[in-house]
Amino acid sequence: MSFFFEKHQLPIDKQTLRDILNKVISPRLKKYGLVWNGNYLWFDQPRDSIRCVFYYTLLKGETGTFTWGVCPDFIPTITASNKLQFHRTDKNVKPLLFDWPNEYANSFSGGNLKNGVTTHWGEKDTERSVKDLMDRYEDKIFNWFKTASSLQGLIQIAESQVEIGKSYNIHYPNPKLVLAFLYSKALQKDKAMQMIEFLNIDQLLKQDLIKRIENQA
């Protein structure tokens, strides 16, 4: 994948970018049941309260990358006003437990970003870069989805992210919060409470999370 472009090229506009993403990505994701929402998001319908999600993440410098993950409807995010928000409708689907290309993830600890992002400079180069990144990561993405198809698989992924730390520490929501609700769903309430205690958040909010976990079926 090349990140060098001719000096006369300009960044493509957002609609052209979306058209390219639809052209390159949608047919591949559709094979696995994920449907484009017309913007930068693809997802399927809930199975056991969990959706698979693929998100095209816009970055600085006219670049982008892939985010793939799941959106369980029983896991909340924390809003700016310290409220809990659940993601249960098509309008507020987002990846809650997710991964990035290795190069992009490793760039947060000094790794080389090259080959982990796309370019938006010039229509042909943009399409080529999106295709190249999808070619390289398609198998990994769908193997990830396969692991994430069960509650135990999700717990395995979240436990690994918490243990590894590094770029996972800047994920939103925090993998510890995600793991707490996964443990709770698996009726491992003690482990869930331990994860909540590890979170560096407001105490009142922490108590709210604990109550949610205690009441979760």
Per-residue pLDDT reduced to its tens digit, 139-178? 999 999 999 999 999 999 999 999 999 999 999 999 999 9
Q: How does the average pLDDT of the chain come out, rounded?
A: 94
Q: What is the pLDDT of residue 30?
A: 96
Closest CA to 54 of 155, 137, 172: 137
Residue 175 belongs to domain spanning: 14-215
Instruction: Give the 3-state secondary structure percentages of the chain, helix then strand then coil, rounded to 5.
Output: 50, 20, 35
Is there a domain that residue 6 lies in?
A: no
At residue 1 the predicted structure's pLDDT band, cuts being 50, 70 and 90, is: very low
Is there a domain that residue 3 lies in?
A: no
Size of the chain, expressed as the number of residues it contains: 217
Is there a domain that residue 169 lies in?
A: yes
Taking CA atoms, 181 is separated from 59, 166, 184, 190, 213, in Å, by: 30, 21, 5, 11, 7
- pLDDT over 90, % of the chain: 93
Closest CA to 207 of 62, 35, 84, 52: 84
Is there a domain that residue 5 lies in?
A: no
Q: Give CA–CA dist 204/84, Å, rounded.
A: 12
Is there a domain that residue 4 lies in?
A: no
Q: What is the pLDDT of residue 9?
A: 83
At residue 58 the predicted structure's pLDDT band, cuts being 50, 70 and 90, is: very high
3-class DSSP state of 37:
coil
pTM of structure: 0.94
Per-residue pLDDT reduced to its tens digit, 33-45? 999 999 999 999 9
Per-residue pLDDT reduced to its tens digit, 71-117? 999 999 999 998 999 999 999 999 999 999 999 999 999 999 989 99
Q: What is the pLDDT of residue 8?
A: 56
Number of structural domains found in the chain: 1
